[in-house]
């Protein structure tokens, strides 16, 4: 057990922000989720056993669920602007980099929740399988299976190879810079 | 042929991200060489790993500043734990009473407190009088005015929507700068405010989603307002006797560019 150092938590911000975007599917919600997670964690002194990043992942998952519960209780009237006005002329104005990143995060956010949490914990946050299992309260074997299937869906989603056979769903085409 | 249901999923996942122990790696590689299904499954895993590990989107500067501020505050108030427990129990009632008194004082003084501004406070500014002339159109950036807050420029609606910028004002609440530009069209007036720094808490009202942006439509004191975020900052546009479609069109039609 050791005391969580508030000043060292900032170093995880970028990766936590990306993870939050993967969980929520939108930049604005990701910002809210990260802000609320940090606010909760920093509200009082904490003693932690695990890695800081794993601790933050657990805190963020709890905050995420808590926000979902709150949102489900709050009556919310949602509509699209198309009901009122023509389409937003800004659509497509964002830099390619953001669009690509946004597309990947959007694809993650559309995965089933268990798959989403596993891939966010391991491939976005960079936790080990063991750390991810602890953070997500699941067995390590369960995490690896979910991770495998989540990656499989993401790979298929961005598969650039020509479709073989009929009825293949529209796939997102994406060129990804490889770090070699 | 390998039955897909019999794929060693955990091992393939671990091989793809480099976490499979060395002693199991060679054995799995040998199986993969003999099986196109395994090779294909590994290929998918590796492609997803490369894609996900290549993303490097940083957190917005405003969020970073806010988290840093929170962490700094937490570090300052943490102090040595050993002696703090009894003191805390002794002084909690007094501290609570003091906090209540301070909150009451802040409420009495209106916006002069040190806490972050709220959306209603910002909306009041957007409905207040101008204190300075309107900024001119920016000839270098069509559709924008020559006034920016945190890299976000105010829109110039004159050519498209007919709304002319008529004035501006700058206020500070809780150390945060709030800049407002006022626009008029056929006797109707709206105020467009941008709050610098970390996003304000926004909730309630009617949520309208367009182009990935969440717009909140709310009523306050007889006025209508729309709140949204851009570049990590909070934008509020408000007006009396202006309908929601007009406000939403103004909120979503701007073509500001980050500096």
Angle at B125 between CA B215 and CA A84, to 5 degrees: 25
Nearest CB to B9; choose among A14, A104, A144:
A144
ipTM passes above 0.90: no
Neighbouring residues of A100: CB distance < 8 A, sequence distance ≥ 6: A174, A176
d(CA A103, CA A108): 9
**Biggest distance spanned by C-alpha atoms of chain A:** 58
| Least confident segment among A111-115, B75-79, B94-98, B115-119 | B94-98
Neighbouring residues of B136: CB distance < 8 A, sequence distance ≥ 6: B145, B146
Say if residue B204's pLDDT is above 80: no
Neighbouring residues of B72: CB distance < 8 A, sequence distance ≥ 6: A6, A7
Name the minimum distance, in Å, from the CA of B222 to any CA of chain A. Answer: 20
Which chain A residue lies closest to B218 (C-alpha atoms)?
A77
Nearest CB to A104; choose among B52, B211, B245:
B52
- Let me know: does B228 contact B200? Beta carbons within 8 Å: no
Neighbouring C-beta atoms of residue B130, cutoff 10 Å: 16
Report residue B103's pLDDT band, with 50, 70 and 90 as the boundaries. very low
Binding-face residues of A in 36-65 toward B, CB within 8 A:
38-39, 42-43, 45
Q: Give the pairing type, strands B206-210 and B188-195.
A: unpaired
d(CA B65, CA B70): 9
Please state the φ and ψ torsions of residue B226, each to the nearest 5 degrees.
-125, 135
Across the interface, do B252 and A90 touch by the CB < 8 Å criterion?
yes
| Residue keyed to tokens 């004191």 | B221
- Pull the structure tokens for residue B244: 């929601």
Q: Is A18 on the interface with B (CB under 8 A)?
A: yes
Neighbouring C-beta atoms of residue A46, cutoff 10 Å: 19
Across the interface, do B51 and A176 touch by the CB < 8 Å criterion?
yes
- Let me know: does A134 contact B31? Beta carbons within 8 Å: no
Sequence-ordered strand ranges (E) for B69-149: 144-149
d(CA A25, CA A101): 11
**B173-189 per-position pLDDT tens digit:** 888 889 999 998 887 88
d(CA B198, CA A52): 24
Residues shown for chain A: 180
Confidence (pLDDT) at B98: 45
Sequence-ordered strand ranges (E) for B141-196: 144-149, 152-155, 164-173, 176-185, 188-195
**B18-35 per-position pLDDT tens digit:** 999 988 999 999 999 999
Name the minimum distance, in Å, from the CA of B247 to any CA of chain A. Answer: 11
Binding-face residues of A in 129-168 toward B, CB within 8 A:
129, 141, 144-145, 147-152, 154-156, 158
Which chain B residue lies closest to A77 (C-alpha atoms)?
B206
Say if residue B91's pLDDT is above 50: no
Contacts of B51 in chain A (CB under 8 A): 104, 154-155, 158, 174, 176
* Mean of per-residue pLDDT scores for chain B: 78
Which chain A residue lies closest to B20 (C-alpha atoms)?
A129
Chain A to chain B, count of Cβ pairs less than 8 Å apart?
183
Which chain A residue lies closest to B202 (C-alpha atoms)?
A32
- Pull the structure tokens for residue A9: 């938590």
Across the interface, do B208 and A80 touch by the CB < 8 Å criterion?
yes
Contacts of A38 in chain B (CB under 8 A): 67, 70-71
Confidence (pLDDT) at A160: 60
Find, among B168, B200, B170, the residue nearest to B184 by Cα: B168
Q: What is the mean pLDDT of residues B71-81?
A: 64
d(CA B48, CA B44): 6
Contacts of A85 in chain B (CB under 8 A): 245, 248-249, 252
Q: Give the pairing type, strands A78-80 and B206-210.
A: parallel
């Amino acid at each position: 057990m050791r005391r969580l150092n508030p000043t060292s938590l900032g170093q995880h911000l970028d990766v936590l922000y990306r993870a939050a975007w993967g969980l929520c599917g939108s930049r604005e919600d990701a910002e809210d989720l990260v802000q609320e997670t940090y606010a909760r964690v920093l509200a009082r002194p904490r003693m932690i056993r695990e890695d800081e990043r794993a601790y933050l992942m657990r805190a963020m998952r709890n905050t995420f669920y808590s926000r979902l519960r709150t949102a489900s209780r709050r009556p919310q009237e949602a509509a699209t602007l198309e009901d009122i006005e023509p389409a937003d002329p800004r659509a497509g104005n964002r830099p390619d980099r953001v669009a690509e990143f946004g597309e990947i995060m959007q694809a993650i956010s559309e995965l089933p929740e268990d798959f989403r949490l596993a891939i966010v914990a391991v491939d976005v946050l960079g936790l080990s399988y063991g750390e991810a299992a602890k953070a997500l309260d699941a067995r390590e074997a369960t995490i690896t299976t979910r991770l495998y299937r989540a990656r499989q869906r993401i790979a298929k989603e961005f598969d650039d190879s020509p479709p073989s056979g009929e009825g293949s769903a529209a796939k997102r085409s994406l060129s990804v810079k490889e770090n070699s | 042929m390998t039955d897909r249901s019999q794929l060693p999923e955990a091992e393939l996942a671990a091989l793809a991200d480099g976490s499979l122990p060395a002693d199991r790696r060679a054995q799995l590689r040998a199986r993969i060489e003999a099986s196109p299904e395994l090779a294909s499954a590994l290929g998918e895993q590796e492609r997803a790993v490369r894609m996900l590990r290549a993303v490097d989107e940083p957190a917005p500067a405003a969020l970073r500043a806010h988290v840093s501020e929170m962490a700094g505050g937490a570090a300052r108030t943490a102090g040595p734990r050993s002696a703090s427990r009894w003191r805390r129990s002794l002084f909690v009632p007094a501290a609570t009473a003091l906090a209540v008194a301070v909150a009451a004082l802040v409420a009495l003084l209106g916006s002069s407190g040190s806490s972050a501004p709220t959306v209603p406070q910002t909306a009041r500014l957007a409905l207040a009088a101008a204190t300075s002339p309107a900024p001119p159109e920016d000839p270098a950036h069509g559709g924008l005015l020559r006034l920016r807050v945190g890299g976000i420029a105010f829109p110039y609606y004159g050519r498209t929507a007919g709304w002319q910028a008529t004035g501006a004002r700058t206020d500070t609440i809780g150390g945060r700068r709030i800049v407002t530009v006022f626009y008029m069209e056929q006797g109707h007036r709206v105020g467009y405010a941008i709050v610098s720094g970390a996003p304000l808490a926004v909730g309630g009202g009617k949520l309208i989603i367009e182009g990935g942006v969440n717009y909140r439509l709310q009523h306050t004191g007889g006025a209508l307002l729309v709140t949204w975020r851009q570049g990590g900052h909070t934008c509020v546009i408000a007006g009396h006797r202006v309908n929601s479609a007009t406000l939403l069109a103004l909120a979503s039609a701007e073509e500001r560019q980050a500096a």
